[in-house]
């Protein structure tokens, strides 16, 4: 059987670099496309490694060090270039003792050079272009070459059933829109927000909400989160001309449109507390200019800011994560186009950010579009898969736990997977406790040892959540719910309600400890490239039947610890409180009257403007507010039993009351 060769293109535009004039001062280069201004270096080659030996008077010198055992292609006629007559010589050894290893004169277009050669991990190769035929400048490309082996027998670990579930619109998300801890399906269009509310019996109720026409639709991406802190998720549309926000009203039944006049060729959108002030901000990748942040003043009013988080163009897929475990949110941008080199913006903790991608081996330029960050090996830190979108290679980087990374692509199974897409995400689809990778037309199952195997059946890309409340993650793809058929593995779902932190708890890190393992997950708004997936944290437990503890490290620094949590349950955790908290009888705070009618008076606050949350008998959040007086309006609540959580300066207090 003939093998198929797939060339990994590493960048669409050349990186302007200047080679050095001698072997001793050769410029060390990564994979990618590079520009040679002219062949005028002062040291000539010691021996010709290509055809057509002859006199040379100058050379340009480079070095490349292989990160894995693989095959490399060097060509001086990359796509988009004007090829000229070149000759390349490739050596091993050291300066003064160079040994010919490979070379080429005329194998490319218009007498350009084109040579393929095997490389060994850790070996440095010296590359010299001589002026045998020309001293003019040119571009060259250094890229991986993948040999696709015969496909292995299909490995089917989980299956999906297709269920027709139409929702109008083109921008999709799977998010809890009514605070019942069930993931809903949302479709957006210019003047509509169509919500399929998941019901407890597994059906959906369709509600179409008419909105003021949006200046910008979610043609490129969609994000969700509670920007104004009223307890209902707002939406952020990312379009080709700008961004529009749809603010949910105080009962989630309507939206108010807010757009900004600034031009943004919007790609990935996120909601995150960028400056860690407790208020949810927004972020958008700009395709053709510096990235944009919208800062929240604490009242849901946003201010446009450009340039803090990446000054150049080609920004496509952003993801916020705490890669260095210092408690604040860093940001990775997978790039494409005019400046294709990826960014990792480290949060310095003082409102500033520094790009550390080059020093950590993450400054790739291979048209990735998106990335998947997660704790693939369950060691408590975030690893990353940088996927390819149209041409190039996938890259799996293991976090070493000290803020550095190691390339472990070779032998991981990622190196053999050639599927490509703009969307790459990571979630635990089989509930074995290890994060899987969805993208490139495949579902790559994590085997628990940092190796991955194609499931053989993929649901395709789309927003991800639990669409039938069975504890297994499903995918929504344009009119069809891909329902995960699951297995016997156990699970836990966690909904976070922030008080001092943003109300969604976005940026919180959750650690689940069992007798045999530890699982670390993060609350995020926006992963992959386009879609918005559930903000409920989903943890597969495998065959574990006990949970020792659940720890939530909130962005505020508050830590909640819950012991002996039941498996196969949905857990709701409010910052500073845990579900099932007993009444604090020693506190002087009391409620009046009980039962209440339209208002409840909170005695004992002494003028404090305390945050308040009200839960119904099922634990569902039904009201949130910050008290300006000692009275809370409960007129819109139906009759029944409730729990009020009051966050005083002395600490949290919980009180029960009934409503007539």
Q: What is the pLDDT of residues 23-40, one digit of tens each?
A: 999 999 988 889 999 999
Q: Is 546:565 a contact under the CB 8 Å cutoff?
A: no
pLDDT of residue 121: 85
40-65, pLDDT tens digit by residue? 999 999 999 988 878 899 999 999 99
**Whole-angstrom Cα distance, residue 291 to residue 289?**
7
Res 6 pLDDT > 60: no
Percent of the chain whose pLDDT exceeds 90: 70
Name beta bridge partners: 512: 519, 550
Give the helix, strand, coil percentages of the chain, each rounded to 5: 0, 45, 55
| CA Rg value for the chain | 28
> What is the residue-wise DSSP string for 467-486?
SSSSSS-EEEETTEEEEE--
**Whole-angstrom Cα distance, residue 331 to residue 522?**
13
pLDDT of residue 194: 96
Res 442 pLDDT > 60: yes
Q: Is 160:25 a contact under the CB 8 Å cutoff?
A: no
Residue found under tokens 């490739």: 90
Angle made by CA atoms 466, 190, 481, in degrees to the nearest 5: 20
> What is the residue-wise DSSP string for 157-209?
---EEEEE---SSSEEEEE-SSSSS--EEEEE-SSEEEEEEEPTTS-EEEEEE
Q: What tokens appear for 411 in the block?
A: 């032998």
Q: What is the distance, to the nearest Å, from the Cα of residue 318 to the centroid of all Cα atoms in its chain? A: 6
pLDDT of residue 142: 92
83-137, pLDDT tens digit by residue? 999 999 999 999 999 999 999 999 989 999 999 998 988 899 999 999 999 999 9
**Whole-angstrom Cα distance, residue 2 to residue 263?**
50
Q: What is the distance, to the nearest Å, from the Cα of residue 452 to the centroid of all Cα atoms in its chain? A: 19
The pLDDT confidence band at residue 154, using thresholds 50, 70 and 90, is: low
**Whole-angstrom Cα distance, residue 249 to residue 234?**
9
Residues 6 or more apart whose Cβ sits within 8 Å of residue 542: 431, 432, 433, 489, 490, 517
Helix, strand, or coil here: 588?
coil
pTM equals 0.73
**Whole-angstrom Cα distance, residue 529 to residue 421?**
10
Eight-class DSSP state of 410: T
Q: What is the mean pLDDT of the chain?
A: 89
Q: What tokens appear for 605 in the block?
A: 């606050």
Res 228 pLDDT > 90: yes
Reading phi first (left if > 0) and then psi (alpha if -120 to 50, else beta), residue 315 is in beta
Contacts for 121-124: CB closer than 8 Å, 24+ residues apart: 121/66, 121/67, 121/68, 121/69, 121/410, 122/65, 122/66, 123/65, 123/66, 123/92, 124/63, 124/64, 124/65
Eight-class DSSP state of 3: P
Q: Is 473:493 a contact under the CB 8 Å cutoff?
A: no
Helix, strand, or coil here: 241?
coil
Eight-class DSSP state of 68: S
Helix, strand, or coil here: 533?
coil
| Cα first-last separation, the chain | 77
Reading phi first (left if > 0) and then psi (alpha if -120 to 50, else beta), residue 498 is in beta
Strand pairing report for 160-164 and 136-148: unpaired
pLDDT of residue 1: 21
**Whole-angstrom Cα distance, residue 382 to residue 394?**
17
The whole-number average pLDDT for the span 639-657 is 83
């Amino acid at each position: 059987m003939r093998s198929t060769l797939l060339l990994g293109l590493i960048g669409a535009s050349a990186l302007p670099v200047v080679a050095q004039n001698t072997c001793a001062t050769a410029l060390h280069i990564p994979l990618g496309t590079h520009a040679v201004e002219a062949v005028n270096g002062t040291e000539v080659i010691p021996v010709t490694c290509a055809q057509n030996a002859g006199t040379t008077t100058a050379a340009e010198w480079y070095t490349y060090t292989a990160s894995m055992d693989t095959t490399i292609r060097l060509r001086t006629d990359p796509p988009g270039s004007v090829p000229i007559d070149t000759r390349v010589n490739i050596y091993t050894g050291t300066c003064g003792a160079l040994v010919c290893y490979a070379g080429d004169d005329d194998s490319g277009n218009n007498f350009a050079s084109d040579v393929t050669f095997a490389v060994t991990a850790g070996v440095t190769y010296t590359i010299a272009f001589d002026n045998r035929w020309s001293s003019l400048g040119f571009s060259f490309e250094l890229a991986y070459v993948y040999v696709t082996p015969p496909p292995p027998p299909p490995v089917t670990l989980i299956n999906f059933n297709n269920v027709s579930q139409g929702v109008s619109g083109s921008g999709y998300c799977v998010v809890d829109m009514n605070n019942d801890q069930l993931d809903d399906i949302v479709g957006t269009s210019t003047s509509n927000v169509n919500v399929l509310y998941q019901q407890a019996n597994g059906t959906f109720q369709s509600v179409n909400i008419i909105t003021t026409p949006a200046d910008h639709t979610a043609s490129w991406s969609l994000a969700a989160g509670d920007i104004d802190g009223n307890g209902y998720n707002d939406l952020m549309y990312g379009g080709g001309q700008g961004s529009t926000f749809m603010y949910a009203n105080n009962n989630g039944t309507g939206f108010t449109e807010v757009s900004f006049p600034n031009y943004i060729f919007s790609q990935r959108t996120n909601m995150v507390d960028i400056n860690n002030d407790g208020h949810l901000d927004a972020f958008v990748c700009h395709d053709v200019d510096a990235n944009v942040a919208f800062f929240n003043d604490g009242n849901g009013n946003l201010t446009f800011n450009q340039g803090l988080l990446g000054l150049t163009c080609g920004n496509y897929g952003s993801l916020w994560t705490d890669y260095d475990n210092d408690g604040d949110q860093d940001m990775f941008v997978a790039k494409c186009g005019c400046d294709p080199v990826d960014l990792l913006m480290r949060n310095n903790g003082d409102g500033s950010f520094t790009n550390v991608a080059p020093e950590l081996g993450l400054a790739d330029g291979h048209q990735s579009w998106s990335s998947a960050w997660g704790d693939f090996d369950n060691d408590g830190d975030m690893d990353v898969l940088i996927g390819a979108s149209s041409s190039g290679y996938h890259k799996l980087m293991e976090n070493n736990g000290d803020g550095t990374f190691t390339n472990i692509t070779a032998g991981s199974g990622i190196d053999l997977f050639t599927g490509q897409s703009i969307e790459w995400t990571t979630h635990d689809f089989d509930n074995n406790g290890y994060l899987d990778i969805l993208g490139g037309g495949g579902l790559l199952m994590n085997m628990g040892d940092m190796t991955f195997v194609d499931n053989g059946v993929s649901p395709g890309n789309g927003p991800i959540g639990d669409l039938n409340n069975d504890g297994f993650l499903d995918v929504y793809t344009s009119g069809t719910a891909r329902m995960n058929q699951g297995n016997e593995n156990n699970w836990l779902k966690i909904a976070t309600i922030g008080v001092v932190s943003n109300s969604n708890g976005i940026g919180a890190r959750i650690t689940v400890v069992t007798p045999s393992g530890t699982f670390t997950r993060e609350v995020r708004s926006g992963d992959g490239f386009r879609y918005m997936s559930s903000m409920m944290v989903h943890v597969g437990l495998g065959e574990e039947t006990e949970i020792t503890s659940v720890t939530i490290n909130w962005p505020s620094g508050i830590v909640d610890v819950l012991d002996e949590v039941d498996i196969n349950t949905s857990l709701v955790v409010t910052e500073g409180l845990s579900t099932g908290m007993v009444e604090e009888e020693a506190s002087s705070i009391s409620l009046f009257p009980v039962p209440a009618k339209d208002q409840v008076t909170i005695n004992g606050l002494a003028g404090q403007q305390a945050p308040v949350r009200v839960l119904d008998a099922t634990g569902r959040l039904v009201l949130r507010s910050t008290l300006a007086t000692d009275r809370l309006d409960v007129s819109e609540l139906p009759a029944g039993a409730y729990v009020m959580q009051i966050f005083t300066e002395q600490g949290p207090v919980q009180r029960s009351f009934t409503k007539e």
